Chain A
């Protein structure tokens, strides 16, 4: 059974709309992350959270807002969607937020913005 659940698996949105990507992990981890994989770039780090607090943000746009309602949840809200936002978004987690920990990834949400 997958331990990191991302919903939905596929998402189609129109330009200008807003969507929320869901991520839940059942590994008992304290740190969670978002990564993005687009057609033009390799997997890119976006955000890291530890105990529901933002630790690092490498995303230039404020249109991307993580939301953590529980320690094992880290959703990603994207507003004013653009076609360039089309990508697969991966959620990941690690035991703790430190340099030694290994990241485990979910299956991703493939977002297409028309």
Chain B
């Protein structure tokens, strides 16, 4: 089945710097990809969903890139601020309806 590797597991950046999180998946038939943010004590908040037909998606303060050739999905937070401190998860939709395969998460800390 689908496997998702996410790196790095921990990331510490200074306020204003960028932060990049990368996920690599195995199933070439995967077609929906998600980034979730989990703040302490909270559920997973959807940041962005990416469909395989789209390569670049921009949100507020971040960009998601999908490289289908390398089966890689990345989240780039530009000009990180302390409010971005959280655990970030990538997730890939498998062929089983409703089933997401998650990466292990990246704990991001943004310090002033």
A residues lining the B interface (CB < 8 Å): 2, 4, 6, 9, 31, 33, 35, 42-45, 48, 55-56, 58, 90, 94, 97-108
Contacts and interface: CB of A to CB of B under 8 A. Distances in A.
Interface of B: 4, 32, 34, 36, 41-44, 46, 49, 89, 91, 93, 96-105
Contacts of B34: 102-103
10 contacts: A6-B43, A35-B100, A42-B104, A42-B105, A43-B102, A45-B98, A45-B99, A97-B97, A99-B97, A106-B43
A102 B46 contact: yes
Contacts of A100: 32
A26 to B, nearest CB: 14
Contacts of B46: 102, 104
A108 B43 contact: yes
Contacts of B103: 42
A105 B43 contact: yes
Among A2, A31, A99, max chain B CB count under 10 A is at A99
Given A99-B93, A102-B49, A105-B36, A56 B43 contact: no
Contacts of B93: 99
